[in-house]
Copies of this chain bind each other. A is one copy, B any other.
Amino acid sequence: MSVRELFNPRSIALVGATDKSGWSISTLGNLRAHGFPGPVHLVNPRGGVVHGMPAHKSLTDIAEPVDLAYVMVPTTAVLGVLREGAKLGIGCYVILTAGFGESGEEGARLEAEIAGFAVEHGLTILGPNGNGYINAAAGVTPYGLPIPPPLLRGEVGVVLQSGALASSVLSFAQARNVGISLLTSMGNEAVVSVTDVIDYLVDDPATKVIALFLETIRNPAEFSRVARRALEAGKPIVALKIGRSTLASHTAQAHTGALVGDDDVIDAALRRLGVIRVRSLEDLIITSGLLASSGPLPGPRVGVVTPSGGASEIIADRAEDEGLELPAFAPETVERLKEIVPAFGTVQNPLDVTGYVLIDRTLLGRALDVVTADPNIDLVMLLSEPPKLAPPDPAPVLAQYTASAERIAASRVPVVVVSNVLTDVTAFGRQVQQETGFPYVAGGIEHGMHAIGAAVRWSRTRARVLSRPEPSPRAEGALRPPGAHGVWAEHRAAALLVSSGLPVVPSDLARSEEEAVAAAGRFGYPVVLKAAAEGLGHKSDVGGVRLGLSAEEEVRRAYREVVAAVPSLDGVLVQPQRGGGIELLVGVVRDPAWGLTLAVGLGGVWVEVLRDTALRVLPVDAGEVRTALAELRGAALLDGVRGGPAADLDAVADVVARVASFAESLGDGLESLEINPLLVTGSRVEALDALITWR
């Protein structure tokens, strides 16, 4: 399989070409209109003239070499075309034809047949049930829907798990003057997958940013690998991943299961991989366009230069949403701005140079020069945009924008241009950008601020992720114990934790009142009694827990009550009662796609009512756990509440990371491991209860 050859053929055959098919008309029209330099052959079993050209009756009839066959024949005829093509040495195919996996069992069988044939003969196939691709960088456009002209070449590679949205993406990118390098409509991914295309784009010199529309991430491990490669190459991935609303919950005995929705895990995984997740097609393109134009963006200190007080305040509001800072200007900046801005204006960040820009066309530019020199600023946001309509004499406008472009290019810090509202960049606006070098405009304050925030966060995340060694797959299962099935009661789970060196509250398994009393004596009062029974999940629900026992007689009574309440006991666990401290929940569950996933949160009502947990796909290190803890809404509780001691976050992170690593060591059989609570008292961190569920 060669994705590079798929996207860079020197000759193309349209198999199933016919005047009756809109797809056939569009594909040929696209190849002609967008400059495919090589020969295009039409194949139709009846021969004759198609689209005004003589058609060959079969691939075999073409006397010249064919690099790519674009296949539009009926579903059942596809395999025959592949057979013929393989014999002729044609390596690459786009299959537009539908009726495969998406249409039911028989289709899935046909698709499997094709995929198998492809593997056997080393064929590279895009589709089936996909419209093909647009390699704008190379002018190769075997694509079955009309491409609205002009096709803008640029540095954003677009990969779509949707055919119908491609036209919207193209149309919106054009309206933003965002050029694309490659756009692929993936279809059923029988052979070439999204990750194959990402892999290609990471190596493609024409591509700087990768924009994805994802319905599903078929192979998380592979996706993680290519995402890491993209990060290393400095190519941001921006993804619109849908399905936020279909939160399937895992079924697990542990709390954690209910806390971890599929989409939450995807969210955590994408964040970990440094993939920018957006929620709209507008943000997908506007953010990709910005990153293609700016590269990594320093932040978060933004200087804002505008000709409007109202816009300045909208920007201030949105900056806060996006975690961007608008620091006060340095004194020398203020001094210099006061010489420029009219007396009735106010010199502050965000800066409104006032409507006097209509009189003095240099005002905004001179203010920009001053603000970009401010030492407290990482980047500057300039509110501006190219003109919409061409004046009778465009020369003065072009001169003005050339001057602006030169100022921006000469700036010490990056300057991001944002427009007030999201309206199309017109043909004249594109011309101005092209001829003057006036930079990319992030469309509208709303989406523009999102794009800046996302770009700054990506740049920071990138540094952080790359500073960590790439997680090496662990030797899972090293510690898988015998008898690992069902739900392990606390005493067995706790023993396993202890054997692995994790801090667990001491306990004794008593099998009689006498043993319980003796154990209580050893630990000192008060103590806790808990039912220990195989398969018993929520002990307290069945009356299996007795707290705060402060005398021998209370222990005896509690023992009898627990034995009476819970049938088929292994015994009764006796533990010293701990008081005070902060309770955490630490859970590791197996996500069907992404594997073991850590959920950490504050215990009790915090998880039960607020579902306040932070997720990480494993592996994690202690540093990552600290970041996760900081994300909790109740994070301030860890600093100590109502006079209680602050949690030693290093100690907590260390234990949680070791719990995660321990869970990984338990192997494929582990369904979930939950410590609830993990009690934190200053730097003492101790598991008070544990539950392990095996698959």
- A361–B102 CA distance with the chains assembled, in angstroms: 22
Q: How far is the CB of A241 from chain B (nearest CB, A)?
A: 10
Partner of A446, one of B104, B279, B359: B279
Q: How far is the CB of A380 from chain B (nearest CB, A)?
A: 19
Residues of B within 8 A of A164 (CB): 307-311, 352, 355
Cβ of B641 and Cβ of A344 under 8 Å apart?
no
A445/B244 contact (C-beta < 8 A), A162-B310, A164-B308, A313-B215 known: no
The stretch of A109-117, A367-375, A418-426 that contacts the partner chain: A418-426
Q: How far is the CB of A634 from chain B (nearest CB, A)?
A: 5
Cβ of A444 and Cβ of B242 under 8 Å apart?
no
A161 at the interface (CB under 8 A from B): yes
Query: Which residues of A in the span 217-269 have a Cβ within 8 Å of any Cβ on B?
Result: 240, 242-246
Q: How far is the CB of A444 from chain B (nearest CB, A)?
A: 6
A461 at the interface (CB under 8 A from B): no
Residues of B within 8 A of A343 (CB): 103
- A523–B388 CA distance with the chains assembled, in angstroms: 80
A475 at the interface (CB under 8 A from B): no
Partner of A344, one of B99, B316, B319: B99
Query: Which residues of A in the span 503-548 have a Cβ within 8 Å of any Cβ on B?
Result: none
- A244–B314 CA distance with the chains assembled, in angstroms: 9
Cβ of B344 and Cβ of A242 under 8 Å apart?
no
A245/B316 contact (C-beta < 8 A), A164-B309, A281-B420 known: yes
- A148–B311 CA distance with the chains assembled, in angstroms: 20
A316/B246 contact (C-beta < 8 A), A282-B422, A633-B610, A637-B609 known: yes
With both beta carbons as reference points, the residue of chain B lying nearest to A170 in the complex is identified as B421
- A320–B215 CA distance with the chains assembled, in angstroms: 17
- A610–B339 CA distance with the chains assembled, in angstroms: 45
Query: Which residues of A in the span 275-322 have a Cβ within 8 Å of any Cβ on B?
Result: 279-283, 307-311, 313-314, 316-320
Partner of A609, one of B162, B309, B636: B636
Residues of B within 8 A of A446 (CB): 279-283
A198 at the interface (CB under 8 A from B): no
Cβ of B317 and Cβ of A281 under 8 Å apart?
no
Residues of B within 8 A of A636 (CB): 609
Cβ of A245 and Cβ of B317 under 8 Å apart?
yes
- A318–B633 CA distance with the chains assembled, in angstroms: 24
A204 at the interface (CB under 8 A from B): no
Cβ of A165 and Cβ of B637 under 8 Å apart?
no
Residues of B within 8 A of A422 (CB): 172, 282, 422
- A215–B98 CA distance with the chains assembled, in angstroms: 55
Residues of B within 8 A of A320 (CB): 244-245
- A279–B322 CA distance with the chains assembled, in angstroms: 13
Chain B CB within 10 A, most for which of A160, A279, A422: A422
Residues of B within 8 A of A610 (CB): 610, 633-634
Query: Which residues of A in the span 610-649 have a Cβ within 8 Å of any Cβ on B?
Result: 610, 633-634, 636-637, 641-642
Cβ of A102 and Cβ of B308 under 8 Å apart?
no
Partner of A423, one of B107, B246, B420, B424: B424
Residues of B within 8 A of A389 (CB): 148
Number of copies: 2
A605 at the interface (CB under 8 A from B): yes
- A279–B316 CA distance with the chains assembled, in angstroms: 12
- A311–B242 CA distance with the chains assembled, in angstroms: 9
Give 1 or 0 for each of A441-458: 1 = CB within 8 Å of chain B CB: 000111000000000000
Partner of A102, one of B104, B242, B344, B424: B344
- A352–B162 CA distance with the chains assembled, in angstroms: 12
Q: How far is the CB of A259 from chain B (nearest CB, A)?
A: 14
A175 at the interface (CB under 8 A from B): yes
Query: Which residues of A in the span 415-447 have a Cβ within 8 Å of any Cβ on B?
Result: 420-424, 444-446
Query: Which residues of A in the span 377-402 have a Cβ within 8 Å of any Cβ on B?
Result: 388-389
Query: Which residues of A in the span 71-105 have a Cβ within 8 Å of any Cβ on B?
Result: 98-99, 102-104
Residues of B within 8 A of A98 (CB): 344
Cβ of A314 and Cβ of B633 under 8 Å apart?
no
Residues of B within 8 A of A642 (CB): 605
- A610–B602 CA distance with the chains assembled, in angstroms: 13
Partner of A242, one of B242, B310, B359: B310
Chain B CB within 10 A, most for which of A148, A313, A634: A313
A213 at the interface (CB under 8 A from B): yes
Q: How far is the CB of A618 from chain B (nearest CB, A)?
A: 27
A22 at the interface (CB under 8 A from B): yes
Residues of B within 8 A of A63 (CB): none
Cβ of A245 and Cβ of B165 under 8 Å apart?
no
Partner of A245, one of B22, B145, B319: B319
Cβ of B22 and Cβ of A213 under 8 Å apart?
no
With both beta carbons as reference points, the residue of chain B lying nearest to A356 in the complex is identified as B98
Residues of B within 8 A of A609 (CB): 633-634, 636-637, 641
Give 1 or 0 for each of A591-610: 1 = CB within 8 Å of chain B CB: 00000000000000100111
Q: How far is the CB of A279 from chain B (nearest CB, A)?
A: 7
Cβ of A310 and Cβ of B243 under 8 Å apart?
no
Cβ of B279 and Cβ of A165 under 8 Å apart?
no
Give 1 or 0 for each of A171-183: 1 = CB within 8 Å of chain B CB: 1100100000000
Residues of B within 8 A of A162 (CB): 308-311
A168 at the interface (CB under 8 A from B): yes
- A317–B164 CA distance with the chains assembled, in angstroms: 18
Give 1 or 0 for each of A331-344: 1 = CB within 8 Å of chain B CB: 00000000000011
Residues of B within 8 A of A311 (CB): 162, 164-165, 168
**Known A148-B388, A164-B352; 14 more pairs at CB < 8 Å:** A148-B389, A161-B310, A163-B355, A164-B309, A165-B311, A172-B422, A215-B310, A242-B316, A280-B446, A281-B421, A282-B444, A605-B634, A609-B633, A610-B610
Query: Could you show 17 A-B contacts with beta carbons less than 8 Å apart?
Result: A22-B358, A102-B344, A160-B310, A164-B309, A165-B311, A165-B420, A168-B421, A213-B310, A215-B309, A215-B310, A243-B317, A245-B319, A281-B314, A281-B445, A281-B446, A609-B633, A610-B633
Q: Shortest 6 CB-CB distances between A and B: which pairs?
A: A162-B310, A164-B308, A280-B446, A168-B420, A103-B344, A242-B313
Binding site for B on A (CB under 8 A): 22, 98-99, 102-104, 107, 145, 148, 160-165, 168-169, 171-172, 175, 213, 215, 240, 242-246, 279-283, 307-311, 313-314, 316-320, 343-344, 352, 355, 358-359, 388-389, 420-424, 444-446, 605, 608-610, 633-634, 636-637, 641-642
